[in-house]
Amino acid sequence: MRCSVCGSERLSPLGELHLATQRWNDRIQLRFPRGGFFKARPTYEASFARACRDCGAFLPFLSEYARRQLDAEADSLTDITDA
Ligand SMILES: [Zn+2]
């Protein structure tokens, strides 16, 4: 696996992604626009991350459950338009 920023192969081991806030259940989420008026907004939790040991880039990863969920729904997801 290589760093997507500098190309280094010196990435850290996979670590648990943690938000340093007061609330124990805070999570980093990847969210997409709603697929329809009555549909929930597709949201996937990023639970893990690696850091590049050379440039410091931070690469979040979905949990295996969230990855499978995203893969199953990927064809119906659309880009955020107001980014
Ligand atoms: Zn890097």
How far, in Å, is the centroid of ligand 1 from the Cα of 70? 26
The pLDDT tens digits of the residues spanning 11-21 come to 999 998 877 77
pLDDT for res 22: 67
How far, in Å, is the centroid of ligand 1 from the Cα of 51? 8
The pLDDT tens digits of the residues spanning 21-68 come to 767 677 788 999 988 888 888 999 998 999 999 999 999 999 999 999
How far, in Å, is the centroid of ligand 1 from the Cα of 54? 5
CA dist., res. 83 & res. 65, Å (int): 27
Torsion of CA 35, 77, 69, 42, to 10 degrees: -40
Sequence-distant (≥ 6) Cβ neighbours of residue 37 within 8 angstroms: none
Could you tell me the sign of the dihedral formed by the alpha carbons of 46, 52, 53, 56, in that order? negative
How far, in Å, is the centroid of ligand 1 from the Cα of 66? 25
